[in-house]
């Protein structure tokens, strides 16, 4: 309400930053932020409502694939999302690259859609956890952002306000993630799972890799296209595997299956029989989107120019720095530098190779999509430092590092 001066709130943040918070204190802070604003009541939706949250990454289009797959299995997915600020757009921006798709649903429309077709994705209302917004802006200017309790309570206050019964968290680790090392990622995941379960919501977290982009496409319309291919059964291996890992746990929490293995089988089935893709079309149509662009992805926004980045020598890809690739996509116009920035829905990057793939001199490693020669040249020049080639194949892929549930941390 503005009753507490900013300097007192700043002192509180500094005390939390240096002295840390215990489990109860973190839960109480989350609860206070949650109760400072609107909480969505989804009790009029039939069944166990599930939601998924990712801590963000590059090429992370998981929601676009996961939501229709889980909904096609008969489990209600009621997802409130925010906009992206950074390398590429968030889930809402990606969906808005589809002509006429509307993220502005009334509460009644949102609930009706989930009851009718089992899925809706909408923008968060402005009054969700306003105390978090105020504290976050203070954290930014008082150098108190990097504290696990403050990060966890900020994420979970918004997630819990969205009203779902069960939540699966995808906590990213690596160069393109907020958490750069494994111990910090597990610590954040545990804190968030403890908060969720402390608030009587079934919560599980998975720790997944973001050292290279997820899938091959980075950029809004390009990621929609890749999501559609995945729903048709032709998607990248890592995107499908992550979706199956997250989705099988959602089905478990939603009591649709008794084991994770059965959940994976159910999800694979809705891809194989076409139900997942049909559900995606139904979801897009219900929220006003142009179905023709889904049936023929060539009709999605396309860049005027495509420039290929080619290998300078033979060898194996040893590094594709996800954060730097994200910055290149941002230069091309695929993301926002500020809240007011306008996104170029057609811009982005499509990789032809991933980490540890063999590559020959002159072979295309990535294609840059853009509408501005100067920006394309700047991005191409940066790619030289981002993608590294070594003579020998030096590594082994690992997509998932473990999970956290109410019983604690389970590393793989």
Q: Does the structure show a pLDDT above 60 at 25?
A: yes
Mean pLDDT of 197-208: 97
Q: Is 390 a catalytic residue?
A: no
What band does 80 get if pLDDT is binned at 50, 70 and 90? confident
Active site residue 87: no
Residue 374's SS3 state is helix
Angle of helix 23-34 relative to helix 182-198, nearest 10 degrees, comes to 60
Catalytic residue chosen out of the listed positions 51, 60, 93, 132: 132
Catalytic residue among 154, 157, 208, 245: 154
Q: Which of 87, 94, 158, 279 is catalytic?
A: 158
- Distance CA(345)–CA(96), nearest Å, equals 8
Of the candidates 55, 84, 150, 9, which has an alpha carbon nearest to the alpha carbon of residue 335? Answer: 84
Query: What per-residue confidence (pLDDT) applies to 337?
Result: 78
Per-residue pLDDT tens over the stretch 263-282: 999 999 999 999 999 999 99
Percent of the chain with pLDDT over 70: 99
Each residue's pLDDT tens digit, 139-189:
989 999 889 999 999 999 999 999 999 999 999 999 888 888 999 999 999
Higher pLDDT, 137 or 244: 244
Note the pLDDT of residue 395.
Answer: 79
**341: annotated active-site residue:** no
Which of these, 154, 194, 167, lies nearest to 78 by C-alpha position?
A: 167
Phi and psi of 260, rounded to 5°? Answer: -65, -40
Query: Model-level pTM?
Result: 0.94
Average pLDDT, the chain: 94
Active-site option among 36, 51, 52, 53: 53
From 52, 118, 139, 201, the catalytic residue: 139
Residue 327 annotated in active site = no
User: Please, which pLDDT band fits residue 84 given cuts at 50, 70 and 90?
Assistant: low
Return phi, psi of residue 90, to 5°: -80, -175
Q: Is it the case that residue 28 has pLDDT exceeding 70?
A: yes
> Is-catalytic flag, 373?
no
Q: How many C-beta neighbours within 10 Å does residue 70 have? A: 31
- Please, which pLDDT band fits residue 12 given cuts at 50, 70 and 90? very high
Check pLDDT > 90 for residue 394.
no
Domains of the chain in start order, with CATH, are: 6-294+401-411 (3.40.1030.10), 302-390 (3.90.1170.30)
Report yes or no: 173 and 207 within 8 Å, Cβ to Cβ.
yes
Average pLDDT over residues 230-252: 97
* Interval 282-339: pLDDT, tens: 999 999 999 999 999 999 999 999 999 999 999 999 999 999 999 999 999 998 877 7
List 120's β-bridge partners, or say none.
Answer: 78
pLDDT at 341: 79
- CA–CA distance, 349 with 332 (Å, rounded to integer): 9
pLDDT at residue 81 greater than cutoff 90: no
Identify the pLDDT of residue 89.
76
């Amino acid at each position: 309400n503005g009753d507490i001066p900013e300097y007192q709130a700043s002192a509180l943040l500094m005390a939390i930053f240096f002295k840390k918070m215990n489990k109860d204190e973190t839960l109480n802070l989350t609860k206070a932020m949650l109760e400072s604003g609107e909480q969505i009541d989804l009790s009029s939706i039939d069944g166990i409502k599930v939601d998924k949250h990712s801590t963000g990454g590059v090429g992370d289009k998981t929601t676009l694939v996961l939501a229709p797959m889980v909904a096609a299995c008969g489990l209600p997915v009621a997802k409130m999302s925010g906009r992206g600020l950074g390398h590429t757009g968030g889930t809402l921006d990606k969906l808005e690259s589809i002509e006429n798709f509307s993220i502005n649903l009334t509460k009644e429309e949102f609930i009706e859609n989930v009851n009718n077709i089992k899925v809706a994705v909408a923008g968060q209302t402005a009054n969700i956890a306003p105390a978090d917004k105020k504290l976050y802006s203070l954290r930014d200017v008082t150098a108190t952002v990097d504290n696990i309790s403050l990060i966890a309570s900020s994420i979970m206050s918004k997630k819990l306000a969205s009203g779902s019964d069960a939540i699966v968290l995808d906590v990213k680790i690596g160069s393109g993630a907020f958490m750069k090392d494994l111990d910090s990622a597990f610590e954040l995941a545990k804190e968030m799972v403890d908060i969720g379960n402390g608030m009587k919501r079934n919560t599980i977290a998975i720790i997944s890799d973001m050292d290279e982009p997820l899938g091959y496409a980075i950029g809004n319309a390009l990621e929609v296209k890749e999501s559609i291919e995945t729903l048709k059964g032709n998607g990248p291996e890592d995107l499908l595997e992550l979706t199956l890992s997250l989705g099988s746990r959602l089905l478990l929490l939603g009591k649709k299956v008794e084991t994770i293995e059965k959940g994976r089988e159910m999800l694979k089935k809705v891809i194989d029989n076409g139900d997942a893709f049909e559900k995606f079309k139904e979801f897009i149509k219900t929220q006003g989107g142009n179905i023709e662009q889904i049936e023929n992805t060539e009709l999605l926004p396309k860049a005027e120019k495509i420039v290929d980045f080619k290998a300078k020598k033979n060898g194996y890809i040893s590094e594709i720095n996800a954060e730097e690739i994200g910055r290149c996509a941002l230069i091309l116009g695929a993301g926002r530098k500020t809240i007011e920035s306008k996104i170029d829905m057609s811009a982005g990057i499509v990789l032809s190779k991933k980490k540890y793939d063999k590559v020959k001199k002159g072979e295309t490693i990535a294609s840059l999509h853009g509408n501005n020669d100067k920006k394309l040249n700047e991005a191409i020049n940066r790619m030289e430092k981002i993608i590294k080639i070594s003579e020998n194949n030096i590594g082994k892929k690992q997509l998932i590092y473990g999970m956290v549930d109410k019983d604690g941390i389970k590393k793989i």
